[in-house]
Amino acid sequence: MVSLALIVSFLFATFSCPFLEAANYSNGSTLQAASLNVIDACWRRNPNWATNRQALASCAVGFGKAALGGKSGPIYVVTSPADDAKSPKPGTLRFAVTQPKPLWITFAKDMVIVLQTELQIKSHKTIDGRGAKVEIANGPCVAVYHATNVIIHGISIHDCKAGRSGGKGWEGDAIRIFQSTHVWIDHCSLSRCNDGLIDVIHTSTAVTLSNNLLTQHLKAMLLGHSDKNVGDKKMKVTVVFNVFGPGLRGRMPRVRHGYAHVANNRYEKWGLYAIGGSANPIIFSEGNYFVAPERADHKQVTKRFGAGSNSWKWGTAKDAFMNGAVFGPAGQAVTPMYVGGEAFQVAQGSLVPSLTSSAGALRCTVGRVC
C-alpha cells in the first residue's frame, strides 16, 4: 500500500503547470488535474473510453511509442479465470494471448488468475484490464517472449512464484520481456515476486514502462540480462511516470548496457539505492522526484557495480532531491536519444507528485471518466 505521507503529498501537490489540466464533464464527473500526465490526458478525459478501447494504443510516449498491441484485431473478452497450460480453453487469458492473430483482450468481470505455468504472450496482443479488477497472482506470471507489439495495461501482478515452463527454468518475475520489441507496460501494480518485478533482457528494445506502481520488493526493475550479454547494447527503454513506492531495496532500474531515459518518476525512500548500473550503460535521469531514506549512508541515488565506471555516461537534469538525496553523475553530458515522434516533454521534478498520483492499476467504470 502507498504510505499516508505519499497520499497526502499527492493531494496537496501544485497543479498550475502546462503538464496538468483539470476537466469537467457533461455527465457530472470530474477528473482531478493530478492524474493528467501526457499519457493519461490522451484517454482518461473521455467518459466513452470503453467504446474505443484501441485508441489507447496511440497514447504511449518514449521508445515504446510505436507499440500497437492488438489494435488491428478484434476485441476478445476473457470470461473465466481458469488456466490450462496444456490445452488452453476459449474464454481464458492463456487462450487469448496464444492466438496467432492480433487481439485486444478485455475482461468480463473481476478475477484473480492463478497460472499453471508462465504466461507467454504472442505478438500483436493487448491485455486491457480497464473496467475490471484483474490480478495475476500466487503462481507463475507473465512473459513477453520473442514477441513484438505488446501492450499490458491496468492489471495487478503479485506474489509470483519460481518454477519451470516447457522444460526450462524461470525465476518468478512479474513481467519478463525477453528478445522482444515495441512493448508498452502501463498502469500496472506490481509487488512481492520471487525475482524481479520487471525485467527487460536479451536484446529487447523499444520499450516504455509507465504509470506503474512498484512496491514491497527487493529487486524492482532490471534492464539487461548480464554484463556479458553485449547484445543488450542496442537496448533503449523509457521509464516514465512510475512510483517506486514503499518496501523497495534497489534496481529502479539497474541498467547493464544500452540507454535508459528515466523521467518524471517518484522515488519513495529506497532501501539501498535507486538507480544502478554495471557494464557500460547510458542513463539520463530527468525530472524525477527523489525522496531519500533516513539512513545517512543511503542518501546516494546512484550505485555503480564493477570497474571502469569513470567512462560511463550518467546524467541528471530537472531532478528534485528531497531529504538529502544526492545524484552521482559520471562522464560526459547526457541528452535524450529520441528520434522524431518518440520525443516528449519532461516536466520539472517538483511536479512529479501530481504527475504520478494515479500510478498503478486504475479502477475504471464504463461510461465514466477513468
Q: Which of 120, 200, 194, 199 is nearest to 163 (CA)?
A: 194
Domain annotation covers residue 366? no
Domain annotation covers residue 368? no
CB-based contact 182:149 (threshold 8 Å): yes
What is the pLDDT, as a whole number, of residue 363? 95
Domain annotation covers residue 112? yes
Which alpha helices (DSSP H) does the chain contain, by range? Answer: 4-11, 38-41, 93-97, 352-355
Q: What is the CATH number of the domain that holds 79?
A: 2.160.20.10
Q: Is the dihedral of CA 194, 196, 198, 199 positive or negative?
A: negative
Per-residue pLDDT reduced to its tens digit, 141-162: 999 999 999 999 999 999 999 8
The size of the chain, in residues, is 370
Q: Is the pLDDT confidence value at 227 over 90?
A: no
CB-based contact 143:122 (threshold 8 Å): no
| Range scoring the smallest mean pLDDT among 123-127, 211-215, 232-236, 259-263 | 232-236
Domain annotation covers residue 367? no
Cα(30)–Cα(28) distance, rounded to whole angstroms? 7
Q: Which cell numbers hold the place of 37?
A: 500526465
Which residues, 6 or more positions from 118, have their beta carbon under 8 angstroms from its beta carbon? 140, 141, 142, 143, 163, 165, 170, 176
- Hey, how many other C-beta atoms are within 10 angstroms of the C-beta on 141? 27
Per-residue pLDDT reduced to its tens digit, 44-78: 999 999 999 999 999 999 999 999 999 999 999 99
Helices and strands (DSSP H and E) totals, the chain: 4, 33
Domain annotation covers residue 369? no
Which residues, 6 or more positions from 5, have their beta carbon under 8 angstroms from its beta carbon? none
CB-based contact 251:276 (threshold 8 Å): yes
Cα(146)–Cα(191) distance, rounded to whole angstroms? 25
Q: Is the pLDDT confidence value at 1 over 70?
A: no
Per-residue pLDDT reduced to its tens digit, 230-288: 888 999 999 999 999 999 999 999 999 999 999 999 999 999 999 999 888 999 999 99
Q: Which cell numbers hold the place of 302?
A: 546512484
Domain annotation covers residue 364? no
Measure the N-to-C terminal CA separation of the chain; round to a whole number of Å. 20
Domain annotation covers residue 179? yes
CB-based contact 169:54 (threshold 8 Å): no
CB-based contact 358:306 (threshold 8 Å): no
> pTM (2 decimals)?
0.90
- State the total domains in the chain: 1
What residues make up the domain containing 271? 4-355
Domain annotation covers residue 148? yes
CB-based contact 89:113 (threshold 8 Å): no
State the average pLDDT for the chain.
88
- Mind telling me the catalytic residues? 251
